[in-house]
Structures are given as structure tokens and as C-alpha cells.
Amino acid sequence: EAQVTQNPRYLITVTGKKLTVTCSQNMNHEYMSWYRQDPGLGLRQIYYSMNVEVTDKGDVPEGYKVSRKEKRNFPLILESPSPNQTSLYFCASSSGSGGGQPQHFGDGTRLSIL
Amino acid sequence: AQKITQTQPGMFVQEKEAVTLDCTYDTSDPSYGLFWYKQPSSGEMIFLIYQGSYDQQNATEGRYSLNFQKARKSANLVISASQLGDSAMYFCAMREGRSNYQLIWGAGTKLIIKP
């Protein structure tokens, strides 16, 4: 089954404790992206990657890191999480053909930083 | 300036009625695309429908259709014969440029279908 898998689905942690949210896709997609969703703000892009070893900042990259060492994986790293990073996070992937190809989303990771 | 505007934060609609969710956009790129996604209370994002700027006809997918008015820069989602399962958040998103995969998102509309 074609899917984007995020882990964990839920995480409660404390300020300053490094965490990683994993994202994996099995569709051989070139493009992957991380978003955060906050009430009233829609989805805001954190980082994206056009291919292996190619990453770039989105609209709200501060406090986050990513890497793309393999095509299928695109982990999101919070080196020193803070309460303002409490949010719902989505990983998405898309094929390289642009156009009308939709982005496929993971089920989301609900992160609470205390 | 907002590139994607969804003016209806919330809507209540009677079951079986048709629903129109508004989306206006702003771009100077002649090549762009508009997407609609549904987010039920369970949280996942579900792709519904796509309209390209050069598409001659309005997109349709089952009960979903897109009322695309290019001159007015609007791309409203129409849901015919609404069902209780249509209750969800709905997001409009835009891709600018032919090969740019990044999406710009609206703030969403919360739709509640009343029995």
C-alpha cells in the first residue's frame, strides 16, 4: 500500500530534550516536505527536499533541522524543543512531475512540549 | 499579502444540501494549480480535487467539483448532496509555477453537516 509513515503519532516531552520525528514513504517520490499545523493558520512549511541530499528552508524553519540521506526517509529533528513548537506536524511527499500530482500526507504527529 | 484566502472560518449545512466553500488566490504566475484537501477530525489530510490554470473545464471528482473563475481568481469547492461524513476542515492550496511542488495553504474552513 502506497503510504507516508510518520512516527511517533503522539509525543509529550520537555523543553530542551532533543527529539526526532521520522518520516518514510514507499512511493519512490523525489519531493518531501514537513509542515506544522496550528489553529487558524493552516499548514506552514518548515523544510522541504527536492531529492537526496537537497534540502531547503520553508516558511518557518527556525528551531528545526532535517536531513535526506535516502530517498525514502526525511526525518525532522528538534535539537532543543521549546513550548512554541507544540503543534501538529505533517510529512508529505510528491512525485517529481509537478503539475496536478497531489502531495501525499502522513497521518500526523501531535507534539506537546512542556 | 495573503496568497490564498478562505473567507469562511466555519459553516453549518443541512444534510443533503449542496455546499460551496470559497477560495480566492493571488498570483502573477500564469502557470499555477489549485488543490483542495479534506481533514476529518481524525486528523489525516485527504486530497480531493485539482484544477490547473490552463485547464479548460472545471474539475470534477464524484460529488466534488471546482467552480474555477480565473478572472476573479477564485476556485470554490462545491460538494453536492452533502453527507454527515463530509463534516471536516477543508483546505485550499496553490502551487505556483509548472514544476514547483511547494504549496501555499489557506487557513481552512470548518464544515459541519447537520442531520
SS3 A85: helix
Task: Check residue A96 and give its pLDDT.
Answer: 63
Question: Between A71 and B101, where is the model more confident?
Answer: A71
Q: Which residue of B has its CA nearest to A31?
A: B101
Q: How far apart are CA A60 and CA B87, in angstroms?
A: 29
Nearest to A89 by CA among B59, B63, B43, B34: B43
Q: Which residue of A has its CA nearest to B92?
A: A42
Q: What angle do CA B55, B58, B61 make, to 5 degrees?
A: 110
Average pLDDT, chain B: 93
Task: Check residue B11 and give its pLDDT.
Answer: 95
Task: Check residue A98 and give its pLDDT.
Answer: 62
Q: How far apart are CA A41 and CA A9, in angstroms?
A: 21
β-pairing, A10-13 with B88-96?
unpaired
β-pairing, A87-94 with A31-38?
antiparallel
Q: Could A58 and B102 be called an inter-chain contact, meaning their C-beta atoms sit closer than 8 Å? A: yes
DSSP 8-state assignment for residue A89 = E
**Percent of chain A whose pLDDT exceeds 70:** 97
Q: Which among B44, B101, B105 is the nearest to A107, CB-wise?
A: B44
Span B24-66, pLDDT tens digits: 999 999 999 999 999 999 999 999 999 999 998 999 999 999 9
Which A residues, 34 through 53, put their C-beta within 8 Å of a C-beta on chain B?
40-45, 48, 50
Q: How far apart are CA B44 and CA A88, in angstroms?
A: 11
Nearest to A46 by CA among A31, A35, A56: A35
Question: Between A39 and A12, where is the model more confident?
Answer: A12
Span A41-86, pLDDT tens digits: 889 999 999 899 999 999 999 999 999 999 999 999 999 999 999 9
Q: How far apart are CA B38 and CA B109, in angstroms?
A: 10
Does residue B74 have a pLDDT over 80?
yes
Instruction: Give which of B101, B105, B109 to mutate to test A binding, by max A Cβ within 10 Å.
Output: B101
A27 CB near a chain B CB, below 8 Å?
A: no
Give how far A93 is from chain B: nearest CA, Å: 10
Q: Which among B44, B97, B101 is the nearest to A94, CB-wise?
A: B101
SS (H, E, C) chain B: CCCEECCCCEEEEECCCCEEECCEECCCCCCEEEEEEEECCCCCCEEEEEEECCCCCCCEECCEEEEEECCCCEEEEEECCCCHHHCEEEEEEEEECCCCCCCEECCCEEEEEEC
Task: Check residue A63 and give its pLDDT.
Answer: 97
β-pairing, A4-7 with A54-57?
unpaired
Q: Which residue of A has its CA nearest to B90?
A: A42
